[in-house]
Amino acid sequence: MELIIIRHGESEADLLGVHEGRADFPLTDYGREQAGKMAAYIAAKWKPDIILASTLKRAWETAQFLQKATGCELVAETDLMEFNNGVLAGLPREVAATKYPLPPGGRPPHIPIDGGESELEFRFRAEAVFQKILHEQPTDGRIAIVSHGGMISKLINAFLGLPVANETIFPTGDTGFHVLQTKNGRKMIRILNSQVHLES
């Protein structure tokens, strides 16, 4: 099985300077341009058999570009949504820092943010959707996953079998993609955070 894990393009929240998470902003015009370039590149180099995507607008719209370029099935997967950041969703960062400051030393991983989920709950959700993909998709298939930076990092943590509570982050740029492979019980990271499609 080969997994092509893709982050959405630039969203309106990026320009507004607000916390995104579960705030449901669409792509910007530039984000659509990024998505179009990504879709053309993936279709030519890593054409998937199926696309699974978060239902938040910025990811779903990005996935639609890929679906149009490849002609393959696009399936909504709500568990691929970004971290549920509760009260922070859509708030300007400076307002959030004043109104909901982090406790000294940061929020413990088992404590949920007000109205949202904890880091542990987020990781468990990533583990669950990752296992669902492994068990429900063909083992010889190529699956594209269109999601969000935080979720993508958790999915790679799950792929590598890293401890549930850890501080390892795998950043992903706008429409950046990672290629992960499982074969005969072995795991391989072939590409991390490529944005080669944006270079031309």
Interacting residues of 150 by C-beta distance below 8 A, sequence separation 6+ = 21, 82, 83, 122
From the candidates 82, 117, 148, 197, which is the catalytic residue?
A: 82
Is 8 one of the annotated active-site residues of the chain?
Answer: yes
Is 178 one of the annotated active-site residues of the chain?
Answer: no
How far is the C-alpha of 190 from the C-alpha of 105, rounded, in Å? Answer: 35
Task: Consult the annotation and say whether 123 binds a ligand.
Answer: no
How far is the C-alpha of 177 from the C-alpha of 194, rounded, in Å? Answer: 5
From the candidates 2, 8, 19, 197, which is the catalytic residue?
A: 8
Dihedral sign computed on CA atoms, order 64, 68, 70, 76: positive
How far is the C-alpha of 27 from the C-alpha of 102, rounded, in Å? Answer: 29
Positions at the binding site for substrate: 58
- Which residues make up each annotated binding site? 58
Which positions are catalytic?
Answer: 8, 82
